[in-house]
Amino acid sequence: HRNLSANNVMLTSTGTCKICDVGLAKVFTQARRMTTTVKPGAEPYMPGEVLIAHTEYDERLDNFSFGVLIMEMCLAHEPHPSPRFTQEEHVNGRRMMALIPETNRRREELNELGATHPLRPLIERLLQAQADRPTIGEIHSELIALQASGAYESSVSTLHGAEAVSTRLGKELQSVKEAVDEMRQRQTQSEEHLRFLEQRLGQTMDQKLQQSRQNLTTLFNQSIEQSTTRSVESFGQLQHTVSSLTAAQQQVQQNLGGIITSQQQLQQNLGGITTSQQQLHQHMTASIHTLQQEMAQLRQDSEQKIDSMTAQLLSAIRSQ
């Protein structure tokens, strides 16, 4: 089949399983070996050998997919294995990709299945490498043995429990859909109410805008009138100020003329003072010269008198 998955298994009204979608199916014979060129089937249901190029595989590919399908039926959810490849260090230092064992990739789902589940040993064997995987005849025999032992009923009960969970989830999903529909209705009502409010608000805003324009026009006209009145008053005051400044300028010019006249008189007086100063200097020079002559004559007379008195004193001393 090469594409076995839950999507390709149908149930009749009596509960009989029918495998469909055989577009990828091929007849396998010992003379015709199959090798991987294009990956067949859905990846979560495919074993590792189909992902390696030019690797031979056989009908046990479907056995692997059947094991995944049994686990999905028991867990009631789609398989979600971890990444298939990992990197490992090669002997020559190159990093090579290596396949992770399927039981390791699906460890979380196997743990969810439980260690005591009667179908777990069969599922784990079906997840093994191709050489260790049981044939479809062995699988059929083991399932018949499980059914005869009564352990099979446990797995059926688990499946019924999964169906109950699925039914409950369906009801919850329906409730969620109804809640979403109700929210959409409320959203529609809110949008209509919002449009009504926007319309009312738009009319109110137009009225307020018109009133504001009128108020602004009135205020502007009043401001223009007041500004004009103040401008006229200011112009009259400015003319008065200009007249006062003109009179003050004339007075300053008159005062400036008097200052110029006084300056000329001062210059004349300074000329007279300079002449008087020169005459005073000449007179003082002459007086100083005369005084020097008189002092020299006085010094000479004093020296003569001193010499005369000294001679008289010496004569008196000798006579005694």
pTM for the whole structure: 0.47
Note the pLDDT of residue 152: 62
pLDDT for 138 beyond 90? yes
Model pLDDT for residues 176-203, shown as the tens digit of each residue: 888 888 888 888 888 888 888 878 777 7
Note the pLDDT of residue 161: 57
The residue with tokens 């949008």 is 191
Instruction: Give dist(CA 69, CA 6) in Å, integer.
Output: 6
Instruction: Give dist(CA 226, CA 229) in Å, integer.
Output: 5
Given pLDDT bands bounded at 50, 70 and 90, which one contains residue 134?
very high
Instruction: Give dist(CA 60, CA 37) in Å, integer.
Output: 17
Given pLDDT bands bounded at 50, 70 and 90, which one contains residue 225?
confident
Task: Find all residues with CB under 8 Å of 166, minimum gap 6, and list them.
Answer: 76
Given pLDDT bands bounded at 50, 70 and 90, which one contains residue 7?
very high
Instruction: Give dist(CA 16, CA 20) in Å, integer.
Output: 13
Pick from 50, 54, 73: nearest CA to 62: 50
Q: Which of 1-5, 68-72, 95-99, 160-164 has the lowest mean pLDDT?
A: 160-164
The residue with tokens 């074993």 is 47
Note the pLDDT of residue 122: 93
The β-bridge partners of 35 are: 56
SS3 label, residue 34: strand
Q: Tell which wins on pLDDT, 68 or 89.
A: 68
Q: What percent of the chain has pLDDT over 90?
A: 16
Contact in structure between 44 and 80 (CB atoms under 8 Å) = yes
Pick from 17, 137, 15: nearest CA to 6: 17
Task: Find all residues with CB under 8 Å of 167, minimum gap 6, and list them.
Answer: none
Mean pLDDT of 113-130: 91
Contact in structure between 9 and 18 (CB atoms under 8 Å) = yes
Packed helices 151-319 and 136-149: angle between N→C axes, nearest 10 degrees: 100
Q: Tell which wins on pLDDT, 83 or 15.
A: 15
How do 34-35 and 17-19 pair as beta strands? unpaired
